[in-house]
Amino acid sequence: MTGDIEQSSRVRFPGISPRAYEHPADRGALAVLRAVPAVAPVLKAVAAAFSERGERLLQVASSVRVGPKQYPHLDRIRNEVAAAFDLQTVPELYVQRHPVEAAWTSGIDTPFIVLTSGLVKLLDNESLRFVIGHEMGHVMSGHALYNTLLKRLIGIQQSFAWVPAGALAMRAVIAALREWQRKTELSCDRAGLLACQDPQAALRAHVALAGDVGGQVDIAEFLAQAKEYEEVEDIRDSILKLLHTEERTHPLVVVRAAELQRWSASEEYREILTGSYARREDDRPATNLSDDLKSAARSYKESMGASADPLIKTINDIGETVMGAAGKVWNKVAPNGASQ
């Protein structure tokens, strides 16, 4: 078991906005949704079909609710992470009996976090801090609201299956939303790193989820796998990669690990640790949207330049074009006073 970092040595982030850690592609998509006043109420109405009360009640009845007398070490981590992110309400945390290592966040009005017993058993305390910080990132960004839209679209997809054009259109929308969903996981990995402030703890979590048992995986070799995966030059491999990821909710583990390690070495991460980050008090969708779209387009361009994968270059080129076009449209319709 790896020793804990002293809590007093960790940086706290008063008033931090989720925009501080959100991946540019995630932030650009969220900015568009947040800028339309009617979106949130409509999605909440759609989400009413899912009983948040029922989901919570199920956890109360079948899982262990973390508290001072139940999993006290997790309760301490939960409260410390919430304090680091300056959250007024600390999300409830449950441990559910299940051998598969997993964690998720449910709920919109009052989100709560669930860890499986398999995950708690697998990870050391600092890696668990990373995971809990990751899930609190979902809470702060409000991802559950927009993930509900994806769930509902997948649920009604079969209704369009008999109409070829409708089925293709629905599949395209769902594919786009799933790509955004995967970017939210990259965002929340960053939140997890801000929570633990230990890149090695985050990497241990990724390696463990990939299949490490008892510290038998060499970190350098594992990251070499990520480089090998990212640098394929055969279009056939590119197509296989697309097929492997099309219906996944999370990026593949080696991709997540490599992406987060790059961010941990970035100036952006260092600036956040020194107190230079976006704050909630400055979050104004109308004024932030243009910058967020430009940042998303720039992210796609940088990814395209860094990747040797021919298909990824094409996909990133499309993403850059879409985000750039969205920014131009917004500049034409933006209300007076919006930042250009």
104 strand-pairing partners: 114
**Can you say whether the dihedral through the CA atoms of 157, 104, 190, 256 is positive or negative?**
negative
Q: Is residue 250 a contact partner of residue 182, using CB atoms and an 8 Å limit?
A: yes
The number of beta carbons lying within 10 Å of the beta carbon of residue 327 is: 22
Place of tokens 């989100």: 111
The model carries a pTM of 0.76
Q: Can you tell me the distance from the alpha carbon of 122 to that of 131, in angstroms, rounded to the nearest whole number? A: 12
CA angle, 147 as apex, 290 and 269 as ends, to 5°?
55
Amino acid at 98: H
CA angle, 163 as apex, 161 and 169 as ends, to 5°?
80
Question: Can you spell out the DSSP letters for 271-335?
Answer: HHHTT-S-BGGG--HHHHHHHHHHHHHHHHHHHHHH---HHHHHHHHHHHHHHHHHHHHHHHHPP
pLDDT tens series, the chain, 340 aa: 455 666 778 999 999 999 999 988 777 766 665 555 555 565 566 555 556 777 888 899 999 999 999 999 999 999 999 999 999 999 999 999 999 999 999 887 788 999 999 999 999 999 999 999 999 999 999 887 777 666 666 666 555 555 554 555 556 656 666 777 888 999 999 999 999 999 999 999 999 999 887 788 888 899 888 888 777 666 555 656 565 666 676 778 888 999 999 999 999 999 999 999 999 998 875 555 556 556 655 554 555 455 555 545 555 554 555 455 555 554 554 554 443 3
Q: Can you tell me the distance from the alpha carbon of 93 to that of 78, in angstroms, rounded to the nearest whole number? A: 8
Beta strand 92-96 with 103-106 is unpaired
Question: Can you spell out the DSSP letters for 129-156?
Answer: HHHHHHHHHHHHHTHHHHHHHHHHHHHH
Q: Identify the pLDDT of residue 25.
A: 73
Give SS3 for 15. coil
Q: Can you tell me the distance from the alpha carbon of 150 to that of 144, in angstroms, rounded to the nearest whole number? A: 10
- Helix residue ranges per DSSP H, 124-281: 125-141, 143-156, 164-196, 199-210, 219-230, 235-245, 253-264, 267-273
